[in-house]
Structure 1
Amino acid sequence: MDDLSQRHALACHVAREAGMLAMEYFCRRDELTVDAKGVQDWVSEADREVESLIRSRLAETFPRDGILGEEEGWQPGESAGYWVIDPIDGTTNFLRGLPDWGVVLAYVEQDQVQVGVTYAPIHELLYSAVRGQGAELNDQPLKRKEEAVAPDSALIYLGFGARNDLPAYKARLDYLYSCNMDQRRLGSAALALARTADGRVDGFFESRINLWDVAAGLLIVEEAGGWHNYIDRPLPRGEKMGVLACDASLETTLMPLFEIRG
């Protein structure tokens, strides 16, 4: 296998192993030590232990790669690329016993995601992609339908957190409804992007979000035939991002969401 194929195989294996560990914690979540990182921003011992497992597995096979993780930060490497990991994306859902959370790994090289994996343990769904080689869901090819999506039949995930501006969020809601689009909040950007890729929803937008939340999902959307605003653009590593991913037919309709500041 070439390097990307090896990294893809490793990422899929590690995501499943990490998902099993996360599930063990999920089943006894009332016993976990939980700390606040900010307003409505939580971290538990499960997040830390799952990230530690992922880091150790990556280092065993690709010790020269850098790693950027949500909980332990940046670890520089000597190779041309680095991993981006979110051990439990959707921690609030996880801690409250809700099913929508997942393990996320991405490999970045030349400022573009080359491998992306999102695993939802409760749903037993493994989404993955390798740049130029398509996307998969549970080892089967994943491709969005080619038919255009009419705005008045579209369903969009709209992300919001304490770091977002409430008046701007309300304005974006107003805009979506003016286009006759329906919307939801999920609480996991990684799964919102995965569901955009498989066509369960038609798009995802959040104005300020971290790379580890979205890196894998952006590639999965792209390789499944969707569109996102970082296609052919370098990814920022150390700053929050505004992200739009959607069915390609909705790009023009949804781009005004960026014009609403905040």
Structure 2
Amino acid sequence: MTDHADLLELAVEVAREAAALVTERRRAGVEVADTKTSPTDVVTEVDHAAEELIRDRLLAARPDDGIVGEEGDDTPSTSGVTWVVDPIDGTVNFLYGIPQYAISIAAKEGDEVVAGVVLDVTKGEAFTATRGGGAHLDGRPVRVRDVVPLEHRLVITGFSYQRETRVKQAAAIARLLGRVRDVRRLGSAALDLCYVACGRADAYVEEGLNEWDLAAGGLVVEEAGGRWAQRPGVGGKRLVLASPAGGFDDFVAAVEGCGFTAS
């Protein structure tokens, strides 16, 4: 079996190199290269360049591994290890110069994520985890916040790029606002999950995430004492919820009661 610490070390090394590329290219200016699910769901040339770098470095170190990435073609694994890559999570923030975007790299053995890093490009913070090895921020152990009553919880969320789905999500958020401390929309799902893991928020809910959005961040949440799960969202896509384990069930009940999930 592959050493999970070795996988994490490689992931962090490659993420830092990709972050340097992204930072340099951001200074030079950014142009939209393409769109995905809607005209507002953008891809930049830097997304493509960062993913190409990550693929090249991972496969140079481990040529038999597979890769699943947001921007490129999947590469099958013959080693049993597959990398799940988001070259820039928070591309719209990146496009506008809002300093909240990250490189996310996770390693899977079969269907189980065993190592992952979410590297905040502008702050340099590295959220890391290995299966059974705990979660860390820049090498220091992190834990989720202590559970507080629902009305005292700070919740992070996000919105779909599909107009019709956003309208439904806005109605659900409006109902949730009356039941919690407040709601934040920061713009990077991977960092949102890590913020729950390190205690910067009490919970997270968002519809429309893909595997590369949550692979590394989801492991960080689990290893920090949290839980995450998926439900069918009101817009027909995957709804992801995360919170400290002790307050998870009542958060799920609140989310369902406010209309985030499909009826």
TM-score normalised over the length of structure 2? 0.89
Post-superposition offset of 1:258: 4.4
- Deviation of 1:116 after TM superposition, in Å, equals 1.1
Residue number in structure 2 paired with 1:241? 238
CA deviation after TM superposition for structure 1 residue 243, in Å = 0.9
5+ long unaligned stretches in structure 1: 231-238
Contact 1:86 1:103 in 2 (8 A): yes
Q: Write the distance in 2 (CA, Å) between the matches of 1:122 and 1:57.
A: 22
Pick closer, same or farther for the CA change 1:167–1:35 going to 2, 3 Å: closer
Q: Displaced runs of 4+ in structure 1, greater than 4 A?
A: none
Give the equivalent residue in structure 2 for 1:156: 155
* Alignment check: 8 A CA contact 2:195 2:201 kept: yes
Cα separation, partners in 2 of 1:178 and 1:33, compared to 1, 3 Å: closer
Question: What does the per-residue CA deviation read over 1:135-169, in whole Å, with 9 as the maximum and x for residues that have no partner?
Answer: 11111112224x32221221111111224723431
Residue aligned with 1:27, SS? helix
Asked if the contact 1:211/1:240 (under 8 Å) is kept, the reply is no
Does the CA-based 8 Å contact 1:210-1:240 persist in structure 2?
Answer: no
Structure 2: distance between partners of 1:123 and 1:2: 31
- How far the C-alpha of 1:29 sits from its partner, in A, is 2.2
Matched, 1:116 2:113: no
CA contact (8 A) 2:135 2:141 kept: yes
Provide closer, same or farther for how the CA distance between residues 217 and 165 of structure 1 changes in structure 2, counting only shifts above 3 A: same
How many residues are matched?
252
Read off the aligned partner of 1:36 and give its amino acid letter. Answer: T
Matched residues in 2 for 1:71 and 1:205: separation? 24
The offset of 1:254, in angstroms, is 1.9
SS at match of 2:208: strand
- Report the Cα offset of residue 33 of structure 1: 5.1
Do structure 1's residue 195 and structure 2's residue 192 form an aligned pair? Answer: no
The residue that corresponds to 1:235 in the other structure is none
Q: Distance in 2 between matches of 1:110 and 1:243?
A: 21
Query: What are the residue-to-residue correspondences of 1:1-262 with 2, within 5 Å?
Result: 3-30=3-30, 32=31, 34-37=33-36, 38-145=38-145, 147-163=146-162, 165-229=165-229, 241-256=238-253, 257-258=255-256, 260=259, 261=261
Q: Distance in 2 between matches of 1:123 and 1:93?
A: 14
CA-based RMSD: 2.0
Q: Which runs of 5+ in 2 are unaligned?
A: 231-235
Residue identity (%): 38
Residue 79 of structure 1: CA displacement? 1.9
Question: Could you tell me the TM-score, scaled by structure 1's length?
Answer: 0.89
CA distance in 2, matches of 1:184, 1:51: 28
The equivalent residue for 2:233 is: none
